[in-house]
Structures are given as C-alpha cells and as structure tokens.
Amino acid sequence: MKIKLKILKESSMLKEGNEGLYRLLGVKPGSLDIFLETFTGSSPSHQESLRSFISSRFGSQIEALTDEDLPDTDPRGYSTSLSKVKALLSNGVIYWWYRIFGVEAAQLLVRYQVISYYMDLEDAIESINFEGKGYSEITSEDFAKLPEEDKNIIYEKHFWEDYLDSFFDKQMAQASDTGNKYAGGGGIPSGLFGTMNDWWMSTDGRGIMKAEMREAANELYQQFRKEDSVEEPPEQKQPQWFEKGVNAWDDDAVGYDKREDVPKPS
C-alpha cells in the first residue's frame, strides 16, 4: 500500500508541471529551468535545432534506408514501417539511431543535445550583469543582490559541478510512464520520473548522457573559472540537494571521487 500511495503522490505532483517536479527532486525551484526546458520537451527551438542538424548531416543516409535495413517493427500509425523509422530518425529519437546506425551514432546525437544545452547555459551565464560586472567578476555580496532569475542560472551551473553523479544515479534513474506523447515513446517509461522527452537517452542510454554531461560540465567550469583561484560557490548559496541523512555539502553527497569508481553502464 505504501508503494501505491507513493506512486499516486508522485503522479499528482508531476501534474503540477515543473513545480511538482522540483518538489520530487528536492531541488531549489527554478535552479534547473534551462535543463528541464531542453530535455523535457518544452523547448521547440531545441527540437527544431536537432531536426535541422540531423537533416543537414544525415538526411541522405536516412533517405537511403530500405526495408532490408530495418529490424522487425510495427508501423504504429504510419503507412509503413519504413516511413515510421525514417520519421523517428529525423525527429532525433535516439533509440532508433541506436538500432539502425549503432551506439556511436546514438552517442553523437546525445552529445549534440548536451552541448546545445550547455551552450544555452553559457549564454545565460554571459548575460548576467551586475553594475557593469560580468559573472566572473561578481562577489558574494553582489550575488545576494542579483535578481532571482540570475541566481538560478548560477545555481544551475554549480549544480552540475556538485551533484551530476548523484542526479543521474538517483533522480534520472527514476523511470516512469506518465503518458507523454513524445515522438516514438508513447507508453514507454522515461527517466526523470517519466518527464524526459527522449526515453532511451534517459534509461538504456543514461550512462552515455551522464558521460557527455560530465565532459561538457568540466569544459564550462574551466571556461568560467575565476582567475588565480579555485571558484567557490557564493556564501549565500543554499544547498540544492536534499538527501535524507546526508549533508548536501559532504563529499558523500556528490557522487564519486574517481572516474574509475563510476559504475560502467550495462
């Protein structure tokens, strides 16, 4: 009965949109807005950019596919299985890139989306301006005076530096079918409590996405590292991760110290 009540509670919270999702995650509301907009399907510009990238880079390869190239699959609302697979490939459904073109192609499409997200985050960071100072120049005192939306951008940057492993191992690993009608995934459990737009990227391919997120996060950190010092979070920043029995600032709460300790994806 407790499990059933937990599922009902989570489903009810998700109906509230991002506000309910933030409550499930235990993360400061607003502090992952850019990530959620990109990967939970609420960013038309992201989807359009992905389709444009696929069309320019792989359009001819998709068009050249024949029935002989396909695994057995039901047309499911399309005139033929071939037209279905071509449409899903063109829309960037990673599962079908993995099935048709292999894991390297799937990883390339995941990498494209992750880098696109970090470019949006970078643009947001660069847009921060306090009395003529950019992000790398603001002090802890300046941070306290920033508008909430600017603080949330900084929280989002620090979140991936501090909690990327924990987020992917625990929160992203919570797969559920919430009835999302994202391309090619209706009725299939998706990660992040069922809110991720691409089900494969957040379930079977979660290890790939996690690795790409870590690499891109490290590059962003180096780019915005303050001169002559190791960047520290502003003093006023509150811990964003609330895990029972664990201090959010303890090493144990931020994943793994060594890359070789990270469990290999199955």
Taking only the tens place, the pLDDT of each residue in 111-135 is 999 999 999 999 999 999 999 999 9
Q: Which residues contact 114 (CB under 8 A, 6 or more apart)?
A: 209, 212, 213, 216
Distance, in Å, from the CA atom of 190 to the CA atom of 69, rounded to the nearest integer, reads 26
- For residue 4, is pLDDT > 70? no
Cα→Cα distances 207→20, 60, 156, Å: 26, 29, 21
Identity of the highest mean pLDDT range in 6-15, 20-29, 154-163, 172-181 = 154-163
For residue 167, give the DSSP letter: I
Region of poorest pLDDT, from 122-136, 138-152, 153-167, 227-241: 227-241
pTM for this predicted structure: 0.77
* Angstrom distance (rounded) from CA 153 to CA 234: 13
- How far apart (Å, rounded) are the C-alpha atoms in residues 75 and 190? 21
* Angle, CA 117 vertex, CA 92 and CA 177 arms, to 5°: 55
- Give the model's confidence band at 222: pLDDT under 50 very low, under 70 low, under 90 confident, else very high: confident
**Residue 55 pLDDT greater than 90, yes or no:** yes
Per-residue confidence (pLDDT) for residue 217, from 0 to 100: 86
